[in-house]
Amino acid sequence: MTDDCCDTGKPNGKYDLAVIGAGSAGFSAAITAAEQGAQVVLIGHGTIGGTCVNVGCVPSKALIRAAEAVHHANSAFRFAGVEAVGQVKDWNALRAQKDELVASLRQAKYIDLLPAYNGVAYLEGKARLGNGGVTVDGEQIDAGKVIVATGSHEFVPAISGIEDIPYLTSTMAFEMKSLPESMLVIGGGYIGCELAQMFARAGVKVTILFRRRLLPEGEPEISQALAGYFKEEGITVRRVDGYDTIATSDHGVALSVTVDGTAETLEAQRVLLSAGRKANTDGLGLEEAGVTLSPNGGIEVDDRMRTTKAGVYAAGDVTGRDQFVYMAAYGAKIAAFNALNGDGRSYDNLAMPSVVFTDPQVASVGLTEAAAGTRGIDARTSILSLDNVPRALAARDTRGLIKLVADGATNKLIGAHILAPEGADSIQTAAIAIKQGMTYTELGDLIFPYLTTVEGLKLAAQTFDMDVSKLSCCAG
């Protein structure tokens, strides 16, 4: 950490709240507490701002957008009489532009915010839970309550030989000085899918590997369709039984896998690990303090964001759940409010939207059909392909589908899952519908603007009870 502008000096006296971690969750907790008049010590270690602004959401989406521009130019032929060609001519220029954006947002949204909150003292150092507060580099800081918001880091899978090769994580991949000719991407979750497509569109020959399917927690119809679109773009999509060994080779790296019981070796210039993230819990003294970890390694919290240690709360990626920056900020606000006001607010992720920034984008909220079944809900579903959505027809891009899940007993909407080029901008409408307990009939009766992607939600809702292909334009 070299941001000297942020160091407000050694705090003095007793604080109402100590927040460990200076990322999105930490800042959200500190600001929420300060706005209530509390005296807060915010403890950072490493680059201020955490994962999202520095090595996660911001840099990845900036590069994904650039790769999309290349792809859209190369697919402009779908419009009669239109020709265009796109390519990444200078990866380092693109990377530098990304770095400028990251630095500016880190400055504006984190560093420059600290002086605006007199109730927040910033301290840099290694924090550890202690009696009556925390210690920072061994020095006791007295605080009435503590919130742990230390985030997460990339998970390195246990593949024999992995520590002996120059593997890439997403953070490392964003800092490469040049693009490789070929790349193996291990992991079919949202990070793997986003980066596999981004690098492929930038000109890298990509193979994405996974044990189950792409986006395994999502709807299978969306996973299957997305895999097909990846293949159309030249991405090799492979399911494997397991990853056996990995080593350097003349071509770069050689990964030995098992496919349907048969050993196979895959080679590429680089390998990118995207097998998930792991909570940052080491060195915090959690076990000694009586803080229990969940089976996934995150800090166990209840719906009030309380840990198993009285007076200690946790929020964000360190809890191992809902690892999205907006959910980190949301949970941190609840933790700060409860720490100072008697645990009156609860964490509710029923209508939590999520987005995977592939193209088409994958946007979801609520329950999948499978998740509804595990809860004993007799679910009804509707599936609408995008060739039924006028916006997609006009854009000459009908890749995708919309799947809605409803409670069969009440007809209330309980899940919405969109695969569409502009799906991310439509999911919040479904989130509001679920939050308000709307039925699919009520959603289908709403007025939607014509020639928009979100109109597909109306059509998908109507698909429960009718064939929308028999409707004229705007007749619903």
The annotation places the binding site for NAD(+) at: 187-194, 276
For the chain, the C-alpha Rg in angstroms (whole number) is 24
| Ramachandran angles phi, psi of 178, nearest 5° | -150, 160
Which of these, 151, 154, 147, 127, lies nearest to 318 by C-alpha position? Answer: 151
Long-range CB contacts for residues 287-296, cutoff 8 Å, separation at least 24: 288/129, 289/129, 289/130, 291/129, 291/148, 294/319, 294/320, 296/320
Q: Which two tokens stand for residue 182?
A: 């070929």
CB 381 within 8 Å of CB 404: yes
Chain centroid offset of residue 246 CA:
28
Q: Which two tokens stand for residue 195?
A: 């980066």
Q: What is the rounded distance in angstroms from the CA atom of residue 254 to the CA atom of residue 167?
A: 11
Q: What is the rounded distance in angstroms from the CA atom of residue 403 to the CA atom of residue 223?
A: 12
Tell me the longest C-alpha to C-alpha distance in the chain: 72
Those residues with Cβ within 8 angstroms of residue 27's Cβ, 6 or more apart along the chain or in another chain: 42, 110, 113, 329
How would you write 284-312 as a 3-class SS string?
CCHHHHCCCECCCCCECCCCCCECCCCCE
Binding residues for FAD, as ranges, are 61, 150-152, 317
CB 188 within 8 Å of CB 214: yes
CB 93 within 8 Å of CB 149: no
Binding residues, as ranges, are 61, 150-152, 187-194, 276, 317
Q: Which two tokens stand for residue 343?
A: 């645990």
| Ramachandran angles phi, psi of 138, nearest 5° | 90, -10
Q: What is the rounded distance in angstroms from the CA atom of residue 300 to the CA atom of residue 295?
A: 9
